[in-house]
Structure 1
Amino acid sequence: MNPSDPSPPRSEPTSEEIARLVAKVRALTPARVLAGRIGTSYRTETQLGLREDYAAAVDAVHADIDLERDLGAEFLSRWDLFEVRTRARSKSEFLLRPDLGRQLDEEDVKLFEGCPKGADLQIVIGDGLSATAVVAQVPALLPMLVEEAQYHGLSLGRPFFIRNCRVGVLNDIGRLLDPTVVILLVGERPGLATAESLSAYLAYKPRPGHTDANRNLISNIHARGTSPRDAAGRVLRLALQMIRLGLSGVEIKEQLPEPASTNHLDDQGTPAR
């Protein structure tokens, strides 16, 4: 072929090839990319999917957890799990008055009398803004956190569940039980990608007056985000770092391990080799 000859025209991809490419791209993200349209509107399939995901998000926010029904009697017995409330006495009050969800109910404070104080780690479960996330992630994540903590010889407080819970309740927990680090597993505000996303908030010796600047966060714990196993390792690395440095919040940064390392860590908060 003469180099000066023009290249032969490239054939256009077939509709089947385009469909396969679009499917591969969309499988990589929950975002609604390459959704297509009919005129100026979404396709019917896309519109129905949006409505379904919106309904799931609304349900996750407004749902109330029944511990025995949703987590199971065996799970409650295994972890000796009990329930306390915040000052928000209803779901509607919880949504309208975030300040009440940051304070434990005074009548329930007596329930802590049998709980050990001064533990290295105190794990707490809060419904937050997604009951769905708690039900989906906590049964797998809690045992993994306990496993990691025991591996490092850390003492554990008795876990409990807080109804109508906001993140600021960490301060009351620190005041009442005086643990070194509090780990709050709480449902995230759901979006249209998933209603099953859980967050883990950590604070070193939280006390009244502390703010988000005194806390650290590992978020997006769900099937298409951070897995419970990876989250357990990250949470314990961060907790060990807090214990070693004696602080939490904006003054420390999460130290991620090498990709091939395990979740078990050394006493300095770095991956064990």
Structure 2
Amino acid sequence: MSGNKKDFTNIRIQDMIDTDGIENVEILRKAKETTPARIGIGHIGARYKTTPMLRFVADQAAASDAVFTEVSKEVIKRLGVIEIKTKCKNKNDMITRPDWGRIIEEDQQQILRDKCIPNPQVQIYFGDGLSSPSIEANIPDLFPTIKKGLEHEGVSIGTPFFVRYCRVNTARTIAPLLGAEVACVLIGERPGLITAESMSAYIAYKPHIDMQESEYTVVSNISRYGMPPVEAGEHIVDLILEILAKKKSGVNLKG
């Protein structure tokens, strides 16, 4: 029976096309190649056909897994970074107590004091957030692009590290702790039905405990299906250079 199993996630949504009742099939094909949205997939009454429905269920499962699975120790080892964690003990804590996902307790803060370069211009770190697969999928291309781009401009970079059970506002503690002028959090974003590997970059000038959410400059939808990691890295470098020059971020950056 196992030989008859089929992986529906390998079927491109663009290849799911129903031509029944379509006068110009070529226009539909061209439209589908411009978007991963589920258009022109066909219906039986009000329901999807079998293959699109099974792909939909598979994508839902992948999204759920992305939230609740852990980033493996092997992935962290391959990235060559140190690891700390928030107050959360597990993924359930991170989902139900987002406030704990922002707290770096004293023992974890001490790890950063002991192992990280103090007072960098830019501190970049990685967080699992709501998509653990985003770390392995994006960081190997994204982080080196940012690092090389900033170093080329003479900007000092802090020691990279991984934060388990991470929320964005860990930056409010980490940046002052390490004396960073700018913090850049590369974090897994809420998965959808197109990809469960998407990542965002939250960048802030001199984050502090009382900062507003609007003070973050955000680059979202970093993935092979959105903004590719290398392209996103180049864009993030430009943003960080602008933030350093203007000494502000978020909505204030364009003011």
**Structure 1 and Structure 2 fold alike (TM over 0.5):** yes
Question: Any gaps of 5 or more consecutive residues in structure 2?
Answer: 1-18
State how far apart, in whole Å, the 1-side matches of 2:109 and 2:20 are.
67
Partner of 1:94: 94
- Greater alpha carbon shift after TM alignment, 16-25 vs 100-109: 16-25
State how far apart, in whole Å, the 2-side matches of 1:19 and 1:124 are.
47
Q: 1:23 to 1:87 in 2, by over 3 A?
A: same
Q: 1:162 to 1:226 in 2, by over 3 A?
A: same
State how far apart, in whole Å, the 2-side matches of 1:21 and 1:55 are.
32
**Normalized against structure 1, the TM-score is what?**
0.82
1:45 corresponds to 2:51: yes
Report the AA paired with residue 43 of structure 2: R
1:24 corresponds to 2:8: no
State how far apart, in whole Å, the 1-side matches of 2:35 and 2:128 are.
27
State how far apart, in whole Å, the 2-side matches of 1:154 and 1:47 are.
49
The number of residues matched between the two structures is: 236
Tell me the secondary structure at the aligned position of residue 174 of structure 2.
helix
State how far apart, in whole Å, the 1-side matches of 2:57 and 2:151 are.
44
Tell me the secondary structure at the aligned position of residue 250 of structure 1.
helix
Which structure is larger by alpha-carbon Rg, 1 or 2? 1
> How far off is 1:134 after superposition?
1.3
1:145 corresponds to 2:146: yes
Q: 1:197 to 1:14 in 2, by over 3 A?
A: closer
User: Are 1:71 and 1:139, in contact at CA under 8 Å, matched by a contact in 2?
Assistant: no
State how far apart, in whole Å, the 2-side matches of 1:159 and 1:197 are.
20
Tell me the secondary structure at the aligned position of residue 202 of structure 1.
strand
RMSD between superposed Cα atoms in Å: 2.0
Which structure 2 residues correspond to residues 56-75 of structure 1 after superposition, within 5 A? Answer: 56-68=62-74, 70-73=75-78, 75=79
> How far off is 1:43 after superposition?
0.7
Report the AA paired with residue 199 of structure 1: S
> How far off is 1:14 after superposition?
9.7
Report the AA paired with residue 52 of structure 1: A
- Flag the structure with higher helix content: 2
> How far off is 1:22 after superposition?
2.9
> How far off is 1:19 after superposition?
4.5
- Greater alpha carbon shift after TM alignment, 157-166 vs 211-220: 211-220
**Normalized against structure 2, the TM-score is what?**
0.87
Which structure 2 residues correspond to residues 1-273 of structure 1 after superposition, within 5 A? Answer: 18-68=24-74, 70-73=75-78, 75-76=79-80, 81-114=81-114, 115-253=116-254
Tell me the secondary structure at the aligned position of residue 87 of structure 1.
coil
Question: Any gaps of 5 or more consecutive residues in structure 1?
Answer: 1-12, 255-273
User: Are 2:221 and 2:227, in contact at CA under 8 Å, matched by a contact in 1?
Assistant: yes
